Amino acid sequence: MSIHTVGGVDITDYVRRELADTDPADYELTDAAFNDWLAHAVRVYSNHKPYIKEATITHVEDQDIYALPSDFLWMLDCQYRLDFDTDVYAPMEETTLAGYTTYDWPALDLIRRSLRLAYDNIGRGHWEVITCRVSYTSGKYLIIYPAPNDSVNTFTIRYACAHPLSGTDYHTIPPAHATCFAELLVAAGLRRRASQFLTQPMDYDAGQTRVRRGSAVEILYKQAEKREAAVWNGLRSPTIAVG
């Protein structure tokens, strides 16, 4: 096993160098541990920079609740619409007045556009995402209302989800962000060392040497927090290019 790559970039050497854990014969931290921490970091990262997917939902008449994909995080766009008779557009065609187009009459064109907008608004369905249907079920569901008034049909949703692991690579994450995950793994390693110190004697004699570890724990946590803060603050900041 090896540490998973991010956007095709191998971050293993950097992470192990920063943690001074470079002896392959006696690693302090396993690749499996790094991969667990990396998976958690990707989930948190996806809250800031999600992977966007589309899905088609098949609806049926009078059914208003539908299960959402298992990787669903939040909705970006739901294209559910009510089924209206398209002939309603007929009176609003440009040839409404014989011999003229509505573009020749600004007032008529304004009315026509207003009617089309009103029709579009009326036909737009409403939706809401809920986390469960009843108290003893889990998962996320989509409620559309009014319930469909036609037979089986489909509509499209766009939603955010966590970046997937494909083989050993998080290929949907930009390679430029690989350094962010390297820093987060270093921070996770520092936190693990601090936690280990907390479970061991903090002040003891080792032969003629007096060992105190209280300050080391605080330093490790501060270093971890500093690296994590730099990553998340950087991801939240807008990218500005000058050309």
Q: What is the pLDDT of residues 36-82, one digit of tens each?
A: 999 999 999 999 899 999 999 998 888 889 999 999 999 999 888 76
pLDDT at position 243 over 60: no
pLDDT at position 211 over 60: no
- 64/155 same-domain check: yes
- 152/65 same-domain check: yes
Q: Which residue has the tokens 């008529």?
A: 108
Percent of the chain with pLDDT over 70: 74
Task: Evaluate whether 194 touches 96 at the Cβ level (below 8 Å).
Answer: no
pLDDT of residue 210: 59
- 55/146 same-domain check: yes
With cut-offs at 50, 70 and 90, classify the pLDDT of residue 95: very low
Task: Evaluate whether 130 touches 119 at the Cβ level (below 8 Å).
Answer: no
User: Residue 57 is encoded by which pair of tokens?
Assistant: 């939902």
Question: Per the domain annotation, does 194 fall within a domain?
Answer: yes
Backbone angles phi, psi at 188, to 5 degrees: -65, -40
pLDDT at position 161 over 60: yes
Question: Per the domain annotation, does 203 fall within a domain?
Answer: yes
Task: Evaluate whether 51 touches 177 at the Cβ level (below 8 Å).
Answer: no
Among 35-44, 126-135, 174-183, 208-217, which is the least confidently predicted range?
A: 208-217
In 216-231, which positions are buried (b, 16+ CB within 10 angstroms) versus exposed (e)? ebeebbebbeebbeeb
- 86/98 same-domain check: yes
With cut-offs at 50, 70 and 90, classify the pLDDT of residue 132: confident
The candidate with the shortest Cα–Cα distance to 66, out of 123, 125, 122, 119, is: 125
Helical segments of 87-213, H only: 106-123, 178-198
Question: Per the domain annotation, does 242 fall within a domain?
Answer: no
- Domain boundary among the residues 161, 196, 213 is at 161
Query: Measured between alpha carbons, how far is 134 from 128 in angstroms, rounded to an integer?
Result: 15
Q: Which residue has the higher pLDDT, 201 or 24?
A: 24
User: Residue 46 is encoded by which pair of tokens?
Assistant: 């996806």
With cut-offs at 50, 70 and 90, classify the pLDDT of residue 204: low
- 57/12 same-domain check: no
> Is the four-CA dihedral 45, 49, 51, 52 of positive or negative sign?
positive
Backbone angles phi, psi at 11, to 5 degrees: -105, 5
Taking the model in full, what pTM does it have?
0.71
With cut-offs at 50, 70 and 90, classify the pLDDT of residue 216: confident
C-alpha distances in Å from residue 12, one per residue of 56, 74, 88, 109, 220: 39, 32, 63, 64, 20
Question: Per the domain annotation, does 26 fall within a domain?
Answer: yes
- 95/178 same-domain check: no
Containing structural domain, residue 218: 5-49+165-236
Tell me 63's DSSP state.
-
Q: How does pLDDT run across 9-43, given as a tens digit for each residue?
A: 999 999 999 999 999 888 999 999 999 999 999 99
